[in-house]
């Protein structure tokens, strides 16, 4: 029997006892009469996990999420199933878990992978202890006795098919397919959304710093009369150059290796101090490049200087968009060309930089003029130079960020 349990099988025993119909009392306590039985058979039942469950748990581990199995099965059976699924850590019974003090559990919690024969209060206690260690805790369950732990967890996940109405009411998420792998897909999808939002914010903040620095620099050094951009030019750049780039960043494909990074700390802001310093550095360089080109052209005429400022700043925005697609990975690849949506959006931004310098009605409305080929090349070279500066920064960041691509500690208790 123990051998079957170690193989992950649930064991049922079939036995019999004959009663004399004349003396048998159907109203008597039947439990007391379950003795002197004749063993007929033992049946091992295998309830194999879904094929995708092991892969999903492996992906959790690579993403820094620790999966625990909390079950009502026998400890030996639960441990065998846990090993089959790739759940690391020792197996405890609910009694052993309850007998341990909070201090002892907090020390050994990272080494516990399976808790069997648990009571509802054990589940709540496990969730509470994990939260004390500053973990984001997700709890899955389907029964009435799971409801308190689902409510206590940061993310309670109920089963949509087998789950009770009580568990669904206590949860914040309901799995319509009762598949653990769906949770992992949701985590991956959430990371992709956060990554795109992060890239979008970096792009917008860099552009904003560039605007502020450009206006301050123009006022201090009296370039283009102290006003680098006319109001309509600012609106044009914001709505017709930056918006396509921002949309491209917001709907970009997930970055490779997304599920191989450590979870973000709970209290970490979207932009930390080093990232703000990088944004400020690139923003100031953007303004410096814009004002330098405008100053060079100012001797030829104010309109030409304003046009050089518009074109150079707009091209800086495009190259910043390309650089912001990843915080550490190089932008000098063909990835954008292989993505039709990205190519169209960045191409649209470039077109909307070119048209105001060529169409008469846009030139009059924005106060711009046409540029010669050498002037275009100068603006393009400056934009590429800024991109290369950012590439150098990324080289240094990549070596540091390699530490994040490894199996860290995390916590998601789960019943599979």
- pLDDT at residue 407 is higher than 60: no
Burial of 19 (0-12, 13-18, 19+ CB in 10 A): exposed
User: Can you tell me the mean pLDDT for 306-316?
Assistant: 97
Length of the chain, in residues: 416
**Span 257-267, mean pLDDT?**
84
Structure tokens, 356? 């105001």
Q: Is the pLDDT of residue 414 over 60?
A: no
Terminal alpha carbon distance of the chain:
23
Question: Could you tell me which of 20, 31, 81, 94 has the C-alpha nearest to residue 53?
Answer: 81
Identify whether the C-beta of residue 92 lies closer than 8 Å to the C-beta of residue 116: yes
pLDDT of residue 405: 47
| pTM, to two decimals | 0.81
Residue 412: what pLDDT?
A: 45
Identify the top-confidence range among 78-87, 276-285, 326-335. Answer: 276-285
Q: Tens of pLDDT along 101-126? A: 999 999 999 899 999 888 889 999 99
What pLDDT is attached to residue 76?
78
Name the band, by pLDDT with cuts 50, 70 and 90, for residue 71.
Answer: confident
Instruction: Please compute, for residue 212, the number of CA atoms within 13 A of its CA located in the half-sphere on the CB side.
Output: 12
Nearest residue to 93 via CA among 109, 106, 78: 78
Q: How far is CA 18 from CA 23, 24, 196, 393, in A?
A: 12, 10, 71, 84
What percent of the chain lies above the pLDDT cut of 90?
61
Please, which residues bridge with residue 122 across strands?
A: none
pLDDT class of 46 with cuts at 50, 70, 90: low
- What's the mean pLDDT when you consider all of the chain? 88
Cα separation, 156 vs 183, in Å, equals 11
User: Of the ranges 89-93, 323-327, 401-405, 407-411, which one carries the lowest mean pLDDT score?
Assistant: 407-411
**pLDDT recorded at residue 416:** 37
Q: Which one is predicted more confidently, 369 or 18? A: 369
Q: Within 10 A of 65 (CB to CB), how many other CB atoms are there?
A: 24
- What would the mean pLDDT of 310-339 be, rounded to a whole number? 91
Q: Pairing relation of β-strands 67-71 and 112-116?
A: parallel
CA Rg value for the chain:
32
- Calculate mean pLDDT across residues 339-349: 93
Residue in 284, 342, 276, 338 with CA at minimum distance from that of residue 316: 284
Domains identified in the chain and CATH numbers: 2-45 (no CATH), 51-178 (3.40.50.1000), 189-403 (1.20.1110.10)
Report in angstroms the alpha-carbon separations of 364 from 115, 232, 370, 379: 74, 11, 11, 21
Alpha-carbon span 317 to 380, nearest angstrom: 12
* Angle, vertex CA 124, rays to CA 73 and CA 53, nearest 5: 50
pLDDT score for 3: 58
For the beta carbon of residue 416, count every other beta carbon within 10 angstroms.
Answer: 19
How far is residue 187's CA from residue 383's CA, in Å, rounded to a whole number? 36
Whether the Cβ atoms of residue 63 and residue 187 lie closer than 8 Å to each other: yes
Model confidence band, residue 402 (pLDDT cutoffs 50, 70, 90): low
Torsion sign across C-alpha atoms 356, 359, 362, 364: positive
In the structure encoding, which two tokens stand for residue 119, read together?
């009571």
pLDDT at 174: 93
Per-residue pLDDT of 182-201, as tens digits, reads: 999 999 999 999 999 999 99
């Amino acid at each position: 029997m123990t051998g079957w349990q170690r193989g992950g099988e649930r064991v049922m025993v079939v036995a019999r006892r004959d009663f004399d119909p004349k003396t048998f009392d159907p109203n008597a306590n039947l439990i007391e009469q379950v003795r002197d039985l004749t063993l007929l058979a033992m049946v091992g039942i295998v309830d194999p996990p879904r094929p995708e469950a092991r892969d999903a748990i492996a992906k959790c581990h690579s993403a820094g999420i620790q999966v625990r199995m909390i079950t009502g099965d026998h400890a030996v059976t639960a441990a065998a199933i846990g090993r089959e699924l790739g759940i690391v850590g020792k197996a405890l019974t609910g009694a052993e878990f309850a007998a341990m003090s909070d201090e002892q559990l907090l020390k050994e919690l990272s080494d516990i992978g399976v808790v069997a024969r648990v009571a509802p209060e054990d589940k709540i206690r496990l969730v509470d202890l994990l939260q004390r260690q500053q973990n984001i805790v997700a709890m899955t369950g389907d029964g009435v006795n799971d409801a308190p732990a689902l409510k206590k967890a940061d993310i309670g996940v109920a089963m949509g098919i087998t789950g009770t109405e009580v568990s669904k009411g206590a949860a914040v998420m309901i799995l319509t397919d009762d598949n653990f792998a769906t949770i992992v897909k949701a985590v991956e999808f959430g990371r992709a959304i956060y990554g795109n939002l992060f890239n979008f914010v970096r792009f917008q903040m860099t552009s904003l710093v560039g605007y502020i620095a450009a206006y301050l620099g123009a006022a201090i050094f009296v370039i283009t009369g102290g006003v680098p951009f006319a109001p309509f030019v600012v609106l044009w750049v914001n709505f017709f150059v930056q918006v396509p780039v921002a949309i491209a960043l917001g709907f970009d494909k997930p970055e490779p290796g997304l599920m191989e990074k450590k979870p973000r700390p709970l209290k970490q802001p979207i932009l930390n101090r080093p990232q703000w310093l990088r944004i400020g550095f690139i923003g100031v360089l953007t303004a410096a490049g814009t004002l330098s080109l405008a100053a060079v052209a100012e001797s030829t005429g104010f309109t030409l200087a304003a046009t050089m400022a518009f074109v150079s700043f707009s091209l800086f925005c495009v190259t910043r968009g390309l650089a912001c697609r990843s915080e550490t990975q190089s932008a000098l690849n063909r990835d954008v060309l292989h993505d039709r949506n990205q190519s169209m959006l960045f191409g649209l931004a470039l077109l909307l930089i070119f048209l105001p310098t060529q169409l008469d009605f846009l030139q009059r409305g924005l106060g711009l003029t046409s540029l010669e080929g050498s002037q275009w090349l100068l603006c393009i070279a400056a934009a590429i130079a800024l991109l290369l500066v950012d590439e150098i920064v990324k080289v240094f960041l990549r070596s540091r960020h390699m530490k994040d691509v490894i199996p860290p500690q995390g916590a998601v208790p789960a019943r599979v």
